Amino acid sequence: MDGSIYLPYEKRSGNESIVYFTRDLSSEGLRKIYSRVNQHMTGKVAVKLHTGEPHGPNIIPRTWVKDLLAQELPGANIVETNSYYEGARYTTEQHRETLKINGWDFAHVDIMDDMGTALLPVKGGKWFHDMSVGVSLLNYDSLLALTHFKGHVQGGFGGSNKNIGIGCADGRIGKAWIHTTPGQPNQWDIAKEEFMERISESTKATINYFGKHVAYINVMRNMSVSCDCEGVEAEPVVTPNVGILASLDILAVDQACIDLVYAMPNNFNAALIERIESRHGLRQLTYMKELGMGNDKYVLIDIDNNDSRISQAEAVKDVKPFEG
């Protein structure tokens, strides 16, 4: 399907999943919504988030994550992989220095490809039979994808799918498979629908490995059209803050975030929609559905108001212009 075309809710088919929603953008709001999706977080837990380039202005606040780990996930590790591009996270040594700069030294951060790679099977993929991930991913029993939802220069948007698909792929092999056609000089030549499909197949390898022991939280705050990998070079934020969404269904939670962006009033969404559609990023959603990774229909539950079911328009009706 054409990844530049938004599919309205009423034109979707299939079952509905549950997506929880809070407007409370705080450590308390994060802990509260985590409690709704934590039932399968057992054993050793990996918390996959984007820790950002040096001094990145838009990443999830460290204090929120610190409180979540201390109060809800003692013993869990933050997990990351090294970057595919040369820069401040290219080697493990560089990456660890960046973690200190950005204030992530309150917890152990497992750079999963530091000690090598492992192959996970991709079931039903057309681009991959296996995906190369950081080897220490296999040391964990459960995975929490804690994602800063925002735009992305190549993917259009970065939600849970991007966080896992690119973020768990190792920095030299897996990320190269996703981004680059072998034998030509452009490191970033794979784009649009093919790129979205490769991300999604990579994600499927990881979530199939963990089975039911995966949960997804998307934080709709400081949503630049740029990814956190652009650090201080990210485009200024112009999209309003919305809240936090969580689900046990990766497609449902990413789709719900997209739907809230499209439902925003007063043309607050123009920049982010342009970024999503110009990169054909919506193919992430339709391909995840084709791969059987979840449902694009869902019940949106407002945990701020007695778990009432709300519409997308109701969730964003009171958003205010972004103030940095």
pLDDT digits (tens, 9 = 90+) for 29-73: 999 999 999 999 999 999 999 999 999 999 999 999 999 999 999
CB atoms within 10 A of CB 186: 10
Residue 183 domain-assigned?
yes
Residue 92 domain-assigned?
yes
pLDDT over threshold 90, residue 116: yes
pLDDT bucket at 142, cuts 50 / 70 / 90: very high
Residue 2 domain-assigned?
no
pLDDT over threshold 80, residue 324: no
| Domains: count for the chain | 1
Residue 1 domain-assigned?
no
Query: Going along 31-108, which residue ranges are E strands?
Result: 45-48, 77-80
Average pLDDT score over residue span 140-146: 98
pLDDT score of 230: 86
CATH number of the domain residue 160 falls in: 3.40.50
pLDDT score of 231: 85
Residue 25 domain-assigned?
yes
| Token duo for residue 26 | 């705080």
What is the value of pTM for the model shown? 0.98
pLDDT over threshold 90, residue 106: yes
Handedness of CA 118, 123, 127, 129 (dihedral sign): positive
Q: How far apart are CA 246 and CA 257, in angstroms?
A: 10
Average pLDDT score over residue span 96-125: 97
| Token duo for residue 79 | 């997990």
Which residue from 48, 82, 53 is spatially nearest to 65, judged by alpha carbons? 48
pLDDT score of 228: 87
pLDDT score of 304: 98
DSSP string, 144-172: EEEEE-EEETTTEEESHHHHHHTTSB-TT
Domain of residue 50, residue span: 9-316
pLDDT digits (tens, 9 = 90+) for 236-273: 999 999 999 999 999 999 999 999 999 999 889 999 99
Residue 117 domain-assigned?
yes
Residue 324 domain-assigned?
no
pLDDT score of 323: 87
Average pLDDT score over residue span 125-144: 98
pLDDT score of 182: 95
Q: What dihedral do alpha carbons 31, 34, 39, 40 form, nearest 10°?
A: -120
Q: How far apart are CA 104 and CA 52, in angstroms?
A: 10
Q: How far apart are CA 263 and CA 265, in angstroms?
A: 6
Average pLDDT score over residue span 164-182: 98
Q: Which of 78-82, 211-215, 263-267 has the lowest mean pLDDT?
A: 263-267
Average pLDDT score over residue span 124-151: 98
Classified as helix, coil or strand, 45 is strand
Q: How far apart are CA 261 and CA 304, in angstroms?
A: 20
Average pLDDT score over residue span 282-300: 98
Q: What dihedral do alpha carbons 237, 149, 8, 236 form, nearest 10°?
A: 10
Residue 323 domain-assigned?
no
- Computed over every residue of the chain, the mean pLDDT equals 97
Q: How far apart are CA 324 and CA 308, in angstroms?
A: 31
